[in-house]
Structure 1
Amino acid sequence: MKPYVSVVICVYNEEGNIFPMIEAVDRAMSVYEYETIFVNDGSKDNTLGELKSVHNDRLVIIDLQKNYGQSMALAAGIEKARGEYIVTMDGDLQNDPSDIPAMLRRAEEGDFDLVAGIRANRQDGMFLRKIPSRIANWMIRQASDVHLKDYGCALKVIRADLAKSLGLYGELHRFILLLAALEGARMSQMDVKHHPRLVGQSKYGLGRTLKVMSDLILMLFLKKYLRKPMHLFGNWGILSLLVGLLINGYLLVEKLLGNDIWGRPLLILGVMLVIAGIQLIMFGIMTELQMRTYYESQDKKPYKIRRIYRAEETLFNEELKMKN
């Protein structure tokens, strides 16, 4: 039996792309039970009007109060999705819905929590889109130790329980694969088609580069130190404190030997390192307390169990195979 699927499409000023997108999704998903969720992220053109004019029982329209950004729009669509699998894609027709069935099969047959697309023949500008994207992919790969080929393709198939636990805030939609890796997801990638934009204007540009870099720092913290922040702040705090004490100890000996140490840059450095070390250690302790509050106030566990295998289940399955 095929799973029920939710196709979540975030749109912002995509007038002219709505009708062909809905038709393409309907063709691709004809053998599935599905719903198509369009999240209108505060469009200023006739995007909402076009959506409302469509008579389609499978169509769900979520109209946000204003433009919140792609991450918030995606989070709203995922929250309302009812499918066992959630498909995410852009509404500019550069992603091809005809790739969805093959990605769903990959997810089911390989027992993957997430299958992401790789834009094998990307139809974008070289200098403004492709080269910055390759640089960003390389940076993410090296910094996160999550070795995937294309982190930026919007076309993804995600198991619903994983999608609803990702926690999309700010502009973290660019890091869905890293967020999934933090959750311990089993992931796969496959080549998908990519088309040039025919209607409207791209919402991406070089201006997002600094945002990607700052969000990457956040992702690295979440990946390595969310459950043990003291290992980050405490280690640097202790190192700073020890170096500061060593410098001040040396200057104390100099003072006892009768040398003038007042106003020396080394004295200022030593005092600053001691203060910084104490502050980092205290900040690490406070962050540890906040981390514990985060889990305990929501009755969350700092771990997740995928499945429990019991001995009696294994014996039962073996007996069942022997009978068959």
Structure 2
Amino acid sequence: MNISVVIPLLNEQDSLKELHDWIAKVMQSNHFSYEIIFIDDGSTDKSWEVITQLGAQNPYVKGIRFLKNFGKSQALHAGFEKAKGDVVITMDADLQDNPDEIPELYDMIINDGYELVSGWKKKRYDSVISKNLPSKLFNWAARKTSGVILNDFNCGLKAYQLDVVKNIDVNGEMHRYIPVLSKNAGFTKIGEKIVQHRARKYGETKFGMNRFIHGFLDLITIWFLSRFGKRPMHLFGALGFIMFAIGLGFALYLGIDKLFLNPFGRLITQRPQFYIALATMVIGTQFFVAGFLGEIILRTKQDKTRYNIKDELNLDGIP
């Protein structure tokens, strides 16, 4: 199979048939063997009914339906687990991504040797205040923190070698940082392609301003995981040592001053240096404990439930 198209969605009943027809037309005109995997992330409208109808009409349409809304990252993870194509294309279901970009993305993976190609919506039709400016700031911070040089980390239109999606773990809200996760997994041939951004035709956006707050918090998380995820003691131990050393230094100063330099002065507990020493030594000890706990957790296998599937469509075989 040439291409797997993975499409997470939430309440997009109006756009699904048009998107499916457009993708099928592109695939047929380029003679690609393909599958379209729709992941219904707990929609409350008739999205799953539309997917079922499309699956009855087109055997290359497959579907996964979650019991409730688990988030875009979990939807992508479920789609990645089922994908079988040599190239995996992800796109949003709101028709803002252009399926006509698929052949060039496929060519960049197969012929140009990229392991991941991320779309860049250079010209956007979003609000300048609510999306464009925060997005530019977010992408700048992501570039500086991760070392991955992309202009648009959060573009839903991306292409991957199959090995990439099978070797990265997308959870939480880490879908924004799939290029960073790929780099951390050893897939460093990452490219970018300017893609067309289309105005939303149906429905409303599912993301508000809080996505940027969550995005920056996730950026800190992924920076920490990439630098210290397998050695938390290196960070917490170093911080603990510094804090404990500061506290110990103040404690020694207070002891020497009281015993030899000023034995009849104020009580040690009446001096602010005493509380600085006490606080920093306690904090240093806590950092050490955090480092030890992190090391223990790393060595403990945990079974994580990412999502619960309610229904599946045509996933067992390839037509």
Q: Secondary structure at the match of 2:270?
A: coil
Q: TM-score, normalised by structure 1?
A: 0.87
Deviation at 1:282, TM superposition (A): 3.0
Query: Which amino acid in the other structure matches residue 14 of structure 1?
Result: E
CA distance in 1, matches of 2:26, 2:195: 14
Residue 28 of structure 1 pairs with residue 31 of structure 2: no
Where do 5+ consecutive residues of structure 2 fail to align? 304-319
Q: Secondary structure at the match of 1:124?
A: coil
Deviation at 1:110, TM superposition (A): 2.2
Query: Which amino acid in the other structure matches residue 152 of structure 1?
Result: N
1:123-172 Cα deviation digits (max 9, x unpaired): 21111111111111011112222221110101111112211221111111
Query: Which amino acid in the other structure matches residue 216 of structure 1?
Result: L
Deviation at 1:292, TM superposition (A): 4.2
State the match for 1:151 in structure 2: 153
Query: Which amino acid in the other structure matches residue 122 of structure 1?
Result: R
From 185, 191, 204, the equivalent of 2:207 is 204
1:8-32 Cα deviation digits (max 9, x unpaired): 0011010210111001111222221
Kept in 2, the 8 Å contact 1:15–1:200? The answer is no
Query: Which amino acid in the other structure matches residue 27 of structure 1?
Result: K
Q: TM-score, normalised by structure 2?
A: 0.88
Deviation at 1:294, TM superposition (A): 5.4
CA distance in 2, matches of 1:153, 1:212: 13
Kept in 2, the 8 Å contact 1:9–1:37? The answer is yes
Query: Which amino acid in the other structure matches residue 137 of structure 2?
Result: I
Deviation at 1:293, TM superposition (A): 4.5
State the match for 1:129 in structure 2: 131
What value does the CA root-mean-square deviation take over the aligned residues?
1.7
CA distance in 1, matches of 2:140, 2:208: 18
CA distance in 2, matches of 1:38, 1:223: 30
State the match for 2:37 in structure 1: 37
From 91, 94, 97, the equivalent of 2:96 is 94
**Alignment length (residue pairs):** 294
Query: Which amino acid in the other structure matches residue 14 of structure 2?
Result: G
- Higher mean displacement: 171-180 or 275-284: 275-284
State the match for 1:195 in structure 2: 198
Kept in 1, the 8 Å contact 2:10–2:40? The answer is yes
CA distance in 1, matches of 2:202, 2:119: 22
State the match for 1:7 in structure 2: 5
Q: Secondary structure at the match of 2:236?
A: helix
Kept in 1, the 8 Å contact 2:139–2:153? The answer is yes
Q: Secondary structure at the match of 1:198?
A: coil
Where do 5+ consecutive residues of structure 1 fail to align? 298-324
- Higher mean displacement: 80-89 or 189-198: 80-89
Q: Secondary structure at the match of 1:233?
A: helix
State the match for 2:221 in structure 1: 218
Structure with bigger RCO (C-alpha 8 Å, 6+ apart): 2
Work out the percentage of aligned pairs sharing the same amino acid. Answer: 33
Query: Which amino acid in the other structure matches residue 282 of structure 1?
Result: V
Query: Which amino acid in the other structure matches residue 35 of structure 2?
Result: E
State the match for 2:290 in structure 1: 283
1:101-127 Cα deviation digits (max 9, x unpaired): 101101112221111111122121111
Deviation at 1:281, TM superposition (A): 2.0
Residue 264 of structure 1 pairs with residue 271 of structure 2: yes
Query: Which amino acid in the other structure matches residue 61 of structure 2?
Result: L
Residue 47 of structure 1 pairs with residue 54 of structure 2: no
Aligned pairs for 1:229-248 within 5 A: 229-248=232-251
Kept in 2, the 8 Å contact 1:41–1:64? The answer is yes
Kept in 1, the 8 Å contact 2:87–2:109? The answer is no
